[in-house]
């Protein structure tokens, strides 16, 4: 078998992040860390989903800057832009085209049930736009365009993934096999990292309070300060349970970085006070992010290299996406181009 046919036989992974803020430790532990583990075994596409980010008002200059920084953080975390396709969603117009077609195969009732839509419409009650409502359909298009087998994401995306599977099955039932029906891939620990300030809420890059999250590019002293200020409880003992959500979250962060089991971590640190335990967590977070931050600073200096990746990878993604889009257009009865 030639290398090319072997490569073609590999299963496909697709995942993405919105450039809607500085990506956080939650994004890293819930998704990006897993991507770097899977990147050699699969044919991978990692997208910067900039069209999704438009569902909330963005400052145009900031959005462009953050999109580029996100792309560099993917690479700095260990993704390989020569082997993995790392690209901007807006550079491949097939995403928006397929999303339109799939809109016609998705029900209002399904979209009405999406908890992320409900949450976001509460948070942005001044701007509940149609894009926010059909957001999961664009996400389904992202995934289905590449005949994706596996989607590594955090827990908060499981409902969107179910919808993607439902839409794919519906389309396949109507028109015959067109889309691979994808599976989700969630980390065992770290699939839902919580806010450091309100540990019953998920850590979010769009939180107004920067003390609630650790950004991947936060300098070590900032990481230490934020963890020291993390909200805990008055129980005073290191234990893993829902009555102590702050400590539970810190244990999850620690274990998803060190890959040590929760039981042995709790046992090892059981005698420590919260202050000392927070410092242990801070140490592993700082060390985990140090190489990423160093690589990021190097990449920042290499504008030409980053530009070439953006261009080449968008072309690769467009080529693959066009195949699925052609097939879909033919199946639904759109005329061939002449
Ligand atoms: P986004 O940008 O909100 O988050 C990116 C990834 O990070 C995960 N994540 C978390 N994991 C653990 N703890 C947290 N607190 C946490 N916060 C976020 C998310 O689950 C996600 O994996 N809709 C997606 C982007 C998207 C996408 C796609 C993903 C668009 N198209 C196609 C996969 C496939 C989103 O908003 O991610």
Rg, Å, the chain Cα set: 21
pTM: 0.95
Encode pLDDT of 95-125 as tens digits. Answer: 999 999 999 999 999 999 999 999 999 988 9
Same domain (yes/no): 163, 279: no
Q: For the domain that residue 311 is a member of, what is the CATH number?
A: 3.40.50.620
Give how far Cα 272 sits from Cα of 58, 237, 258, 277, Å. Answer: 44, 8, 18, 6
Same domain (yes/no): 16, 96: yes
Q: Does 226 participate in catalysis according to the annotation?
A: no
Same domain (yes/no): 166, 45: yes
Same domain (yes/no): 178, 156: yes
Same domain (yes/no): 278, 311: no
Are 172 and 44 contacting, i.e. CB atoms less than 8 angstroms apart?
no
1 pLDDT above the threshold of 50: no
User: What residue owns the CA closest to ligand 1's atom 34?
Assistant: 15
Same domain (yes/no): 170, 318: yes
323 pLDDT above the threshold of 90: yes
Q: What pLDDT does residue 5 have? A: 56
Bridge partners, 47 (sequence order): 16, 87
Encode pLDDT of 58-70 as tens digits. Answer: 999 999 999 999 9
Q: What pLDDT does residue 8 have? A: 58
Could you say which of 33, 205, 226, 278 is catalytic? 205
Distance 331 CA to ligand 1 centre (A): 31
Q: Does 83 participate in catalysis according to the annotation?
A: no
Q: Domain span at residue 232?
A: 210-298
Residue 203 lies in a domain: no
Same domain (yes/no): 114, 249: no
Q: Does 205 participate in catalysis according to the annotation?
A: yes
Q: What pLDDT does residue 337 have? A: 82
Encode pLDDT of 12-30 as tens digits. Answer: 999 999 999 899 999 999 9
Same domain (yes/no): 133, 274: no
Same domain (yes/no): 112, 256: no
Encode pLDDT of 240-270 as tens digits. Answer: 999 999 999 999 999 999 999 999 999 999 9
Encode pLDDT of 274-298 as tens digits. Answer: 999 999 999 999 999 999 999 999 9
Are 198 and 212 contacting, i.e. CB atoms less than 8 angstroms apart?
yes
Backbone angles phi, psi at 231, to 5 degrees: -70, 130
Backbone angles phi, psi at 318, to 5 degrees: -60, -40
Encode pLDDT of 134-192 as tens digits. Answer: 999 999 999 999 999 999 999 999 999 999 999 999 999 999 999 999 999 999 999 99
Same domain (yes/no): 9, 110: yes
**How is 214-244 classified by DSSP, letter by letter?**
-BTT--HHHHHHHHHT----SS-S---STT-
Total domains present in the chain: 2
pLDDT band at 331 (very low <50, low <70, confident <90, very high): very high
User: What residue owns the CA closest to ligand 1's atom 18?
Assistant: 27
For residue 160, give the ligand 1 atom closest to its CA.
Answer: 23
Residue 191 lies in a domain: no
Same domain (yes/no): 141, 81: yes
Q: For the domain that residue 276 is a member of, what is the CATH number?
A: 1.10.240.10
């Amino acid at each position: 078998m030639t290398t090319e046919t072997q490569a073609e036989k590999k299963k496909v992974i697709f995942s993405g992040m919105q450039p809607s803020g500085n990506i956080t430790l939650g994004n890293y532990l819930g998704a990006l860390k897993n991507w770097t583990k899977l990147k050699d075994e699969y044919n991978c596409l990692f997208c910067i989903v900039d069209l999704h980010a438009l569902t909330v008002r963005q400052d145009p200059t900031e959005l462009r800057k953050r999109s580029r920084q996100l792309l560099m953080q993917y690479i700095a975390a260990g993704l390989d832009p020569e082997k993995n396709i790392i690209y901007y969603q807006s550079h491949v117009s097939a995403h928006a085209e397929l999303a339109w077609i799939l809109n016609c195969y998705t029900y209002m009732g399904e979209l009405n049930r999406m908890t992320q839509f409900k949450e976001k419409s509460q948070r942005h009650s001044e701007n509940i736009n149609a894009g926010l409502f059909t957001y999961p359909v664009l996400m389904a298009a992202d995934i289905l365009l590449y005949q994706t087998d596996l989607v590594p994401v955090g827990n908060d995306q499981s409902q969107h993934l179910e919808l993607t599977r439902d839409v794919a099955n519906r389309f396949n039932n109507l028109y015959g096999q067109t889309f691979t029906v994808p599976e989700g891939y969630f980390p065992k620990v770290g699939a839902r990292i919580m806010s450091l300030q309100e540990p019953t809420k998920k850590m979010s890059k769009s939180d107004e309070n920067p003390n609630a999250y650790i950004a991947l590019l936060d300098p070590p002293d900032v990481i230490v300060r934020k963890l020291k200020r993390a909200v805990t409880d008055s129980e005073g003992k290191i234990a893993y349970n829902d009555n102590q959500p702050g400590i539970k979250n810190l244990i999850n962060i620690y274990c998803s970085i060190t890959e040590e089991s929760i039981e042995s971590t709790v046992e090892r640190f059981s005698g420590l006070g919260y202050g000392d335990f927070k410092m242990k967590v801070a140490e592993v977070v700082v060390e985990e992010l140090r190489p990423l931050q160093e690589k990021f600073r190097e990449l920042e200096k290499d504008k030409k290299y980053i530009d070439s990746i953006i261009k080449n990878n968008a072309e690769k993604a467009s080529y693959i996406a066009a195949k699925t889009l052609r097939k879909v257009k033919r199946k639904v009865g759109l005329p061939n181009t002449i």
